[in-house]
């Protein structure tokens, strides 16, 4: 009995799309005891075709050579999954998806139920003789099992984080309890409801069998695809099957199905987190990159046609010599930079001694001036370069003041600083005097 209650469903729990119904339908002529025994041996998740083979249900999976019957509830699921992958909705496509992909262990769906035991309807209880000790009635079974079942489903959802869950049936409160604290809100213009929580979108629809016929119901497909987009499922560039579809009799018709996804909005109870918005942005960016790739291919094709038509050359398009021009400009920049950095000194002598022009004059410069050399003789090119023109202008008043300085000794000899140095001045310097020692205020 424990295996029966812990059964999760058919397919792949890691799939991005889950379908949750109320409970499996039990065939009217089924051997209930045999069914329970076989189901008790199932693991928590099993491939749908494998399970049906064990249960001897052959008409849904091409078993025993029988023609495949498209199960009414599964038809809607197949239509949605084919739309999400951008495929056509022909009868052959639907049959192939039901047989090979729907509820498959390696597929992209999981089929599960609120309650684990199959019944003809919610009021029927075919297990009264087999399960008398455990559950005396349908009501007793429902009250005892539901709480444990809800915990199992909530844990599975939290663990695997499907992006889209389609709940079908009338048990709205029970479906809502699986995604609490989120709540369902009406989808405008439809009979459906939706909820959003932590990057997962949940769509609630009535049970498919009474209203979803052989032809695709675009209201459902539009809402479901809109929910998938909101949840971040990557969609084809165009979700418009535009194909012929089978009738209830299974023949092919010329009817065209056009799908236009319904944008779903988020209510106050479904506020998005930063991470959820980032995931949606990433999905949109991937779709934008695909569109960009298509557009770029078109632009390149048109450019090639224009080049061939007009016989354009690389030179006319400004593409010739691009590398050479770039290299030439680069060399020019390097040359300029090298010239600017070559020497930062304002004054230098032939022995490699330098002075930047600020602070106390170094000894080599003082000695040279004492020996009769002038400051201008040691000025470097950097002193007069364009980059230091502002500094040079700033120093002009200082230079004129120095030129206006006169020199005199204690004997009353004087020299204005212009022209040849007089003998008394040379003798004083030779005797150890410095320019500063002989400097005096100019004569009026």
Assess whether the previous peptide bond of 181 is cis (omega < 30° from 0): yes
Q: Which of 5-14, 288-297, 397-406 has the highest mean pLDDT?
A: 5-14
- At 284-304, the pLDDT tens digits run 888 888 888 888 888 888 888
Judge whether 259 and 221 are in contact, CB under 8 Å.
yes
pLDDT band at 343 (very low <50, low <70, confident <90, very high): very low
CATH of the domain at 432: 4.10.430.10
Position of tokens 């119901």?
217
Does 22 fall in a domain? Answer: yes
Q: State percent of the chain over pLDDT 90.
A: 25
Q: Which of 152-156, 221-225, 328-332 has the highest mean pLDDT?
A: 152-156
Angle (CA) 9-158-231 rounded to 5° is: 90
Supply φ then ψ for residue 301, to 5 degrees: -60, -45
Does 280 fall in a domain? Answer: no
Please tell me the total count of domains within the chain.
2
State the DSSP string of 298-322.
HHHHHHHHHHHHHT--TTTTT-TTH
Does 426 fall in a domain? Answer: yes
225/258 Cα distance (integer angstroms): 13
CATH of the domain at 51: 3.40.470
Does 58 fall in a domain? Answer: yes
Does 197 fall in a domain? Answer: yes
Length of the chain: 444
User: Among candidates 230, 232, 240, which has minimal Cα distance to 263?
Assistant: 230
Identify the domain boundary among 272, 294, 322.
Answer: 272
Residues 248 and 108 in one domain: yes
Judge whether 169 and 76 are in contact, CB under 8 Å.
no
Identify the pLDDT of residue 425. 84
Identify the pLDDT of residue 148. 93
State the DSSP string of 47-99.
-HHHHHHHTT--TTTT-TTPPPP--HHHHHHHHHHHHHTT----HHHHHHHHH
55/439 Cα distance (integer angstroms): 121
Residues 196 and 52 in one domain: yes
Does 198 fall in a domain? Answer: yes
User: Among candidates 69, 61, 76, 19, which has minimal Cα distance to 215?
Assistant: 76
Does 386 fall in a domain? Answer: no
Identify the domain boundary among 272, 290, 312.
Answer: 272
Tokens of 298: 């078109």
Identify the domain boundary among 241, 272, 303.
Answer: 272
Confidence check: pLDDT of 276 > 90: no
Q: Report helix, strand or coil for 11.
A: strand
Q: State percent of the chain over pLDDT 70.
A: 77
Q: Report helix, strand or coil for 361.
A: coil
Confidence check: pLDDT of 261 > 90: no
pLDDT band at 74 (very low <50, low <70, confident <90, very high): very high
Does 319 fall in a domain? Answer: no
- At 46-68, the pLDDT tens digits run 999 999 999 988 888 887 778 89
- At 174-233, the pLDDT tens digits run 999 998 888 888 887 778 999 988 789 999 999 887 777 655 577 888 888 888 888 888
Identify the pLDDT of residue 385. 59
25/125 Cα distance (integer angstroms): 12
Domain that holds residue 430: 404-444
């Amino acid at each position: 009995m424990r295996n029966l209650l812990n059964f999760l469903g058919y397919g792949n729990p890691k799939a991005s799309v889950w379908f949750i119904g109320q409970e499996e339908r039990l065939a009217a002529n089924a051997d209930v005891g045999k069914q329970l025994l076989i189901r008790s041996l199932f693991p928590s998740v099993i491939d749908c075709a494998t399970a049906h083979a064990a249960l001897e249900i052959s008409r849904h999976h091409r078993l025993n050579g029988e023609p495949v019957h498209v199960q009414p509830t599964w038809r809607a699921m197949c239509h949605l999954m084919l739309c999400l992958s951008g495929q056509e909705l022909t009868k052959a496509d639907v049959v192939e998806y039901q047989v090979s992909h729907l509820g498959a262990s390696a597929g992209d769906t999981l089929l599960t139920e609120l309650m684990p035991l199959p019944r003809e309807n919610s009021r029927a209880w075919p297990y009264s003789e087999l399960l008398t000790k455990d559950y005396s009635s349908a009501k007793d079974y429902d009250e005892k099992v539901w709480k444990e079942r809800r915990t199992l489903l909530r844990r599975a959802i939290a663990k695997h984080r499907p992006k889209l869950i389609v709940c079908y049936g009338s048990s709205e409160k029970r479906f809502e309890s699986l995604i609490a604290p989120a709540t369902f809100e009406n989808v405008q213009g439809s009979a459906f409801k939706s909820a959003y929580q932590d990057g997962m979108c949940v769509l609630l629809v009535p049970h498919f069998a009474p209203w979803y016929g052989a032809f695709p119901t675009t209201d459902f497909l539009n809402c479901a695809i809109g929910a998938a987009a909101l949840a971040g499922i990557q969609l084809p560039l165009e979700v418009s099957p535009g194909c012929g579809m089978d009738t209830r009799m299974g023949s092919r018709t010329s009817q065209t199905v056009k799908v236009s996804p319904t944008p779903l909005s988020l209510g106050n109870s479904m506020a998005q987190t930063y991470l959820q918005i980032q995931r949606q942005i990433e999905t949109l960016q991937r779709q934008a990159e695909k569109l960009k790739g298509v557009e770029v291919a078109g632009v390149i094709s048109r450019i090639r046609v224009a080049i061939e038509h007009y016989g354009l050359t690389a030179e006319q398009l400004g593409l010739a010599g691009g590398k050479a021009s770039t290299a030439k400009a680069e060399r020019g920049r390097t040359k300029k930079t090298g010239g600017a950095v070559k020497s930062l000194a304002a004054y230098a002598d032939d022995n490699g001694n330098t002075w930047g022009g600020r602070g106390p004059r170094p000894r080599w410069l003082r000695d040279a001036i004492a020996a009769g050399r002038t400051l201008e003789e040691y000025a470097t090119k950097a002193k007069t370069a364009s980059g230091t023109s502002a500094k040079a202008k700033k120093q002009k008043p200082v230079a004129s003041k120095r030129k206006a300085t006169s020199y005199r000794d204690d004997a009353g000899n004087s020299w204005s600083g212009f022209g040849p140095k007089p003998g008394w001045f040379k003798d004083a310097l030779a005797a150890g005097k410095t320019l500063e020692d002989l400097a005096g205020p100019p004569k009026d």
